[in-house]
Amino acid sequence: MTDFTPTERTQVHRLPKRGAYDRETVYRILDEGLVCHVGFVADGKPVVIPTGYGRKGETLYIHGSTASRMFRALSKGADVCVTVTLVDGLVLARSAFHHSMNYRSVVIFGQATLLEDPAAKREALQVFTEHVAPGRWEEIRQPSVKELQATTVLAIPLQEVSAKVRTGPAIDDEEDYALSVWAGVLPLDLAPQTPLPDERLPQGIAVPEYVRSYSRKAR
């Protein structure tokens, strides 16, 4: 896999050593995340909308209602900026100034393509479903023709992309290391809890293995 080529928009200038342009890093972040934020301009005003997504190869898919302002704007070729951020820990320094977070993030620039072919839309919705819960697609009812018609699916090429990663301990001013203040990293993780069955779930339907062993790591 070749690395992404930094552009004027994706080159990390602030703390450039944290920038990453290799596909493995970018794809790992995208495949672990669940929510992206989609930025665009509508009627001359900036808008940022959180939404779910899925990735297959070098394409990111998002979907929503055909009545959505975001999808109408992006379907017409508006420039888009998509971000995904994973917070791995709180970095607690000895001074307020040096507090930080350990994180992994991806920024994507480009334009979206509207998927109109029903088979392509169905495949993208499968990608989205499997991104959220691998193994789910084969168990559930597939989208109907009416549901496909009510859903807009957009494909965003992964071409102008970069990642930024912060790891490690707090970095304090040298004179502050003598302060009697606890400093360190508080790791954070997305941990699934006990599954809660739907109120109308018939008796005898067991929790699927992919739910019991659910994890966002090493996807």
pLDDT tens by residue, 160-206: 999 999 999 999 999 999 999 999 999 999 999 999 999 999 999 99
Spatial contact of 60 and 155, defined as CB atoms under 8 Å apart: yes
Q: Give pLDDT tens digits for 102-153.
A: 999 999 999 999 999 999 999 999 999 999 999 999 999 999 999 999 999 9
Please name the amino acid found at residue 168. G
**The model's pTM:** 0.94
- pLDDT of res. 72: 87
- Distance, CA of 87 to CA of 83 (rounded, Å): 13
The set of residues, in sequence order, having a beta carbon less than 8 Å from that of 47 and lying 6+ positions away, is 39, 40, 41, 69, 70
Nearest to 83 by CA among 49, 56, 117, 111: 49
- Distance, CA of 26 to CA of 4 (rounded, Å): 9
Q: Give pLDDT tens digits for 98-112.
A: 999 999 999 999 999
Which domains, and CATH codes, for the chain?
Answer: 16-191 (2.30.110.10)
